[in-house]
């Protein structure tokens, strides 16, 4: 790390060329595991001697299949809702943090806690807390609020994917907040005091002073979260309903449980998901970030 | 730029080096030899056994009992490779065949059903194994079917599984004998029954019983749908999830393709003591699982010795003990000696259910194609 800083300072061409070696490990890792599996996946999805029904046969099937269209809409809906709620809550929390000095001091440390919890753990926690016979319903039951456990609150495996959304909000809100706080690392807080002394309301100074500092990180983290949820597997697998399925879950299940001769089909689905993901990312990135840069320049 | 090019070239070379493998010729064909010669050839070898390793009981059986005895008797080292899905291994052998690789790493494989059919169709199997195995010709004699597929000795029967229902005695007081009784119970007790959704193996097996016993299977399933857990809106995604629902008291039934599921789960403390096993009197599905040797195994003689040991009375009896594994025996009772038969009788006390109950209520499995059609119909008619 120290070396890197020095390199940055020196900035000479000789040092810059050596920079590539510093990121070489991660480049090789990505080349082999990410790019390698991407290429293998695409090739396998074409089918071979053994897998007769490959990409060519199935791409029409995939596009025409009602099920995948339903699954894609379900996935889009869940990703959009989760991203929207996480972003809103994060922004709201940020507003609170800035207006309460004590919160500002301790909040960042607390934020690391949910970030360190694995997704699987959260999924299982949700399952034990909000299933029919979960903790929450048992409490309602013992308080006499419901007569039957099945009349209580059920957020798991429901057709609207409430459990999935909740799990993602829990996990991604701290992430967004942390990104936002980091982008404010060099922010001069005296600006807020000045604004206030000039009569600006809290909301006004938040919008006019803080927002311009964080808006690009805000949209960036939104895109990261959206695309991440879009192709997620494990949380939908545990918390999602039988039908509709999120497409990542759907492809994984086909690959894992389907007959071996259909593996190329699952890989073809996987490729389609990847392409959809790239398209959506580019689209949102282009639309939103284009706008952000525009605002910054003018 | 130059460096990037060099790096790319290096990377390609490295990847090619990884994917290249040496090829060797195979030695003498053991199937043409007599059993004594096979034993002579296979002694002191190392046999790689690939099997589904999702159960501690099964892992222990192979790792301890089988491994120790093969070492003692033949000085064969059994190298056990537990895998999460044997399909991946079939895939690996497929690719080895494609690359004409004759020094396969798999010597012994535990399979059945679709995986066997695929291996048979693609000529990935070694040959007629059962004709040379002394224990097969002593205790079994006939090649059974594998999901209606003729095995022709290409694989050797190793164990039997049978579908059972597990219920909570305290909640289910009515006597349930047939599938009709069960559907009646489900309708009388809404929300207390469910089954794992397709493509779960156990859920699929449960559904198949309706196709066996009812004139219109899918209609009967549709009929009970609103009376299921959460009104049939969603299903547990695996038999493990169903077990959890059952142990939490959300439903009163669970199911398994392992005959002694309930005994094992009570022992592990997951199920209450009130859990009982139920076999429908109009029959439940059963299947046989097998051992086989791939075409390119390097230790075929050693693998044959291992198979012969695994279908010996000693190994089968040990496997049958519920405390060890609880898998049904493939040896035919009529060919057992008097002492062997008595040993089995003492085992029955442990089971709580008579072995004969299993024998008498056994249904043969459907073919792979038929199963696929049933699963498709369920997804279309029930889920959509």
pLDDT tens string for chain B (384 positions)? Answer: 566 666 666 666 565 555 544 333 345 688 989 999 999 999 999 999 999 988 888 999 999 999 999 999 999 999 999 998 898 899 889 889 888 888 998 999 999 998 999 899 989 999 999 999 999 999 999 999 999 999 999 999 999 999 999 999 999 999 999 999 999 999 999 999 999 998 888 999 999 999 998 888 899 999 999 999 999 999 998 898 999 999 989 999 999 998 888 888 888 899 999 999 989 998 999 999 999 999 999 999 999 999 999 999 999 999 988 888 888 899 998 899 999 988 888 776 556 667 778 888 889 899 988 998 999 899 888 987
CB B44 within 8 A of CB B76: yes
Q: CA of B289 to nearest chain A CA: how many angstroms apart?
A: 17
Burial label, A117 (beta-carbon count in 10 A; 0-12, 13-18, 19+): middle
Q: CA of B43 to nearest chain A CA: how many angstroms apart?
A: 35
Residue B349: how many CA atoms within 13 Å on its side-chain side? 4
CB B271 within 8 A of CB B262: yes
Note the pLDDT of residue B20.
47
Rounded-to-integer distance, Cα B203 and Cα B208, Å: 9
Judge: A157–B230 Cβ closer than 8 Å, yes or no: yes
Q: Which residue has the higher pLDDT, B237 or A256?
A: B237
Rounded-to-integer distance, Cα A111 and Cα A113, Å: 5
Residues of A in contact with B11 (CB under 8 A): 28, 31-32
Task: For residue A258, give the chain B residue with the closest CA.
Answer: B199
Nearest residue to B146 via CA among B287, B291, B333: B287
Which ranges of B311-381 does DSSP label H, i.e. alpha helix? 313-320, 338-351, 355-360, 368-378
Residue A203, CA distances (Å) to A88, A207, A210, A214, B243 in order: 15, 6, 10, 15, 52
Place of tokens 């060519």: A56
**Mean pLDDT of all residues in A82-98:** 91
Task: For residue A133, give the chain B residue with the closest CA.
Answer: B250
Residues of A in contact with B383 (CB under 8 A): 242-243
Residues of A in contact with B4 (CB under 8 A): 20
Judge: A31–B115 Cβ closer than 8 Å, yes or no: no
Taking the CB of residue A137, how many other CB atoms lie within 10 A of it?
A: 22
Residues of B in contact with A50 (CB under 8 A): 94, 98, 122
Judge: A260–B87 Cβ closer than 8 Å, yes or no: yes
Question: Would you list which residues of chain A are within 8 Å, Cβ to Cβ, of chain B?
Answer: 17, 20, 24, 28, 31-32, 36, 48-50, 67, 131-133, 149-150, 154, 157-159, 237-238, 241-243, 253, 256-261, 263
CB B53 within 8 A of CB B71: no
Note the pLDDT of residue A223.
87
Residues of A in contact with B15 (CB under 8 A): 32, 36
Read off the pTM: 0.81
Judge: B91–A260 Cβ closer than 8 Å, yes or no: yes
Nearest residue to B369 via CA among B163, B161, B121: B121
Judge: A154–B199 Cβ closer than 8 Å, yes or no: no
CB B107 within 8 A of CB B300: yes
Rounded-to-integer distance, Cα A138 and Cα A296, Å: 52
pLDDT digits (tens, 9 = 90+) for A17-48: 677 778 888 888 888 888 888 887 877 777 65
Residues of A in contact with B91 (CB under 8 A): 260, 263
Judge: B114–A259 Cβ closer than 8 Å, yes or no: yes
User: Best mutation site among A68, A242, A243, A245 for testing chain B: the one with the most B CBs within 10 Å?
Assistant: A242
Q: Are strands B253-256 and B284-292 parallel, antiparallel or unpaired?
A: unpaired
CB B294 within 8 A of CB B124: yes
CB B328 within 8 A of CB B347: no
Q: CA of A244 to nearest chain B CA: how many angstroms apart?
A: 9
Which ranges of chain A does DSSP label H, i.e. alpha helix? 2-10, 13-22, 24-29, 36-45, 55-64, 66-99, 101-116, 119-130, 135-142, 162-183, 190-197, 202-205, 211-230, 234-239, 247-257, 263-284, 290-297
Q: Is the pLDDT of residue A64 over 60?
A: no
Q: Tell me the Cα Rg of chain B.
A: 23
Residues of A in contact with B369 (CB under 8 A): none
Judge: B372–A259 Cβ closer than 8 Å, yes or no: yes
Judge: B250–A133 Cβ closer than 8 Å, yes or no: yes
Tell me the count of A-B CB pairs closer than 8 A.
62
Judge: A132–B118 Cβ closer than 8 Å, yes or no: no
Q: CA of A134 to nearest chain B CA: how many angstroms apart?
A: 9
Q: Does B83 touch chain A (CB under 8 A)?
A: no
Rounded-to-integer distance, Cα A223 and Cα B3, Å: 33
Judge: A50–B115 Cβ closer than 8 Å, yes or no: no
Residues making up chain B, counted from first to last: 384
Residues of B in contact with A253 (CB under 8 A): 199
Note the pLDDT of residue A1.
42
Q: Which of B11, B114, B118 sits opposite A31 (nearest CB)?
A: B11
Q: CA of A65 to nearest chain B CA: how many angstroms apart?
A: 12
Q: For Cα atoms B228, B232, B236, give the angle at the middle one, nearest 5 degrees.
A: 90
Residues of B in contact with A256 (CB under 8 A): 85
pLDDT exceeding 70 applies to what percent of chain A? 82
Q: Is the pLDDT of residue A287 over 80?
A: no
Q: Is the pLDDT of residue A72 over 50?
A: yes
Residue B369, CA distances (Å) to A3, A5, A132, B81, B146 in order: 63, 64, 37, 30, 13
Note the pLDDT of residue B12.
60
ipTM for this prediction: 0.75
Residues of B in contact with A260 (CB under 8 A): 87, 90-91, 94, 114-115, 118
Residues of A in contact with B115 (CB under 8 A): 260
Q: Which residue has the higher pLDDT, A264 or A158?
A: A158
pLDDT digits (tens, 9 = 90+) for A116-140: 889 999 999 998 899 888 899 889 9
Q: Which of A49, A149, A158 sits opposite B98 (nearest CB)?
A: A49
Q: Does B118 touch chain A (CB under 8 A)?
A: yes
Place of tokens 């459907």: B366
**For B168-218, what is the HEC assignment?**
ECCCCCCCCCCHHHHHHHHHHCCCCCCCCCCCCHHHHHHHHHHHHHCCCHH
Note the pLDDT of residue B236.
92
Task: For residue B372, give the chain A residue with the closest CA.
Answer: A259
Note the pLDDT of residue B359.
80
């Amino acid at each position: 790390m120290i070396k890197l800083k020095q390199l940055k300072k020196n900035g000479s061409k000789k040092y810059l060329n050596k920079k590539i070696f510093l990121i070489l490990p991660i480049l090789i890792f990505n080349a082999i595991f990410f790019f390698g599996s991407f290429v293998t996946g695409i090739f396998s999805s074409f089918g071979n001697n053994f897998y007769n029904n490959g990409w060519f046969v199935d791409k029409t099937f995939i596009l025409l299949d009602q099920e995948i269209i339903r699954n894609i809409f379900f996935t889009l809906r869940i990703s959009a809702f989760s991203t929207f709620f996480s972003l809103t809550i994060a922004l709201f929390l940020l507003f609170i943090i800035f207006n309460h000095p004590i919160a500002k001091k301790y909040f960042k440390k607390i934020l690391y806690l949910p970030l360190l919890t694995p997704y699987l753990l959260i999924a299982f926690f949700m399952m034990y807390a909000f299933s029919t016979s979960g903790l929450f319903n048992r409490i309602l039951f013992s308080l006499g609020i419901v007569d039957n456990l099945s009349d209580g609150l059920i957020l798991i495996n429901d057709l609207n994917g409430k459990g999935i959304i909740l799990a993602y909000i829990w996990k991604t809100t701290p992430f967004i907040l942390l990104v936002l706080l980091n982008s404010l690392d060099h922010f001069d807080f005296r600006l807020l005091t000045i604004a206030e002394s000039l009569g600006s309301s809290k909301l006004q100074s938040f919008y006019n002073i803080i927002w311009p500092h964080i808006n690009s990180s805000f949209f960036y983290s939104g895109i990261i979260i959206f695309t991440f949820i879009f192709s997620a597997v494990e949380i939908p697998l545990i918390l999602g309903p039988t039908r509709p399925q999120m497409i990542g879950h759907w492809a994984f299940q086909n690959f894992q449980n389907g007959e071996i001769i259909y593996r190329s089909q699952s890989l073809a689905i996987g490729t389609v998901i990847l392409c959809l993901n790239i398209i959506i990312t580019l689209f949102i990135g282009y639309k939103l970030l284009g706008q952000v840069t525009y605002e910054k320049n003018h | 730029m130059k460096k990037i090019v060099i790096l790319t070239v290096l990377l390609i070379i490295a990847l090619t080096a990884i994917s290249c493998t040496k090829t060797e010729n195979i030695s003498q064909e053991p199937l043409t030899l007599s059993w004594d010669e096979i034993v002579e050839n296979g002694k002191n070898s190392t046999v790689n056994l690939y099997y589904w390793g999702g159960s501690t009981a099964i892992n222990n059986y192979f790792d301890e009992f089988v491994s120790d005895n093969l070492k003692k008797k033949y000085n064969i080292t059994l190298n056990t490779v537990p895998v999460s899905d044997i399909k991946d291994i079939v895939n690996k052998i497929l690719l080895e065949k494609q690359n004409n690789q004759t020094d396969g790493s798999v010597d012994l494989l535990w399979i059945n059903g679709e995986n066997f059919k695929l291996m048979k169709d693609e000529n990935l199997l070694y040959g007629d194994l059962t004709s040379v195995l002394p224990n097969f010709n002593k205790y079994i004699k006939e090649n059974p079917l594998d999901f209606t597929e003729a095995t022709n000795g290409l694989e050797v029967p190793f164990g039997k599984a049978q579908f059972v229902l597990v219920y909570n005695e305290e909640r289910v007081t009515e006597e349930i004998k047939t599938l009709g009784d069960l559907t009646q119970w489900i309708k009388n007790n809404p929300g207390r029954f469910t089954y794992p959704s397709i493509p779960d193996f156990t859920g699929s097996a449960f559904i198949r019983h309706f196709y066996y016993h009812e004139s219109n299977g899918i209609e009967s399933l549709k009929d009970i749908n609103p009376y299921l857990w959460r009104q049939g809106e969603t299903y547990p995604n695996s038999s493990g999830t169903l077990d959890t629902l059952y142990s939490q008291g959300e439903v009163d039934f669970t199911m398994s393709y392992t005959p002694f599921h309930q005994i094992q789960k009570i022992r592990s403390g997951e199920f209450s003591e009130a859990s009982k096993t139920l076999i429908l009197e109009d029959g439940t599905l059963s299947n046989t699982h097998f051992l086989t040797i791939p075409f390119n195994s390097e230790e075929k003689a050693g693998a044959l010795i291992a198979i012969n040991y695994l279908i010996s009375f000693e190994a089968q009896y040990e496997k049958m003990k519920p405390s060890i594994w609880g898998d049904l025996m493939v040896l035919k009772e009529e060919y057992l000696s008097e002492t062997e038969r008595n040993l089995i009788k003492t085992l029955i006390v442990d089971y709580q259910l008579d072995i004969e109950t299993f024998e008498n209520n056994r249904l043969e499995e459907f073919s792979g194609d038929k199963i696929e059609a049933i699963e498709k119909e369920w997804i279309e008619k029930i889920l959509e």
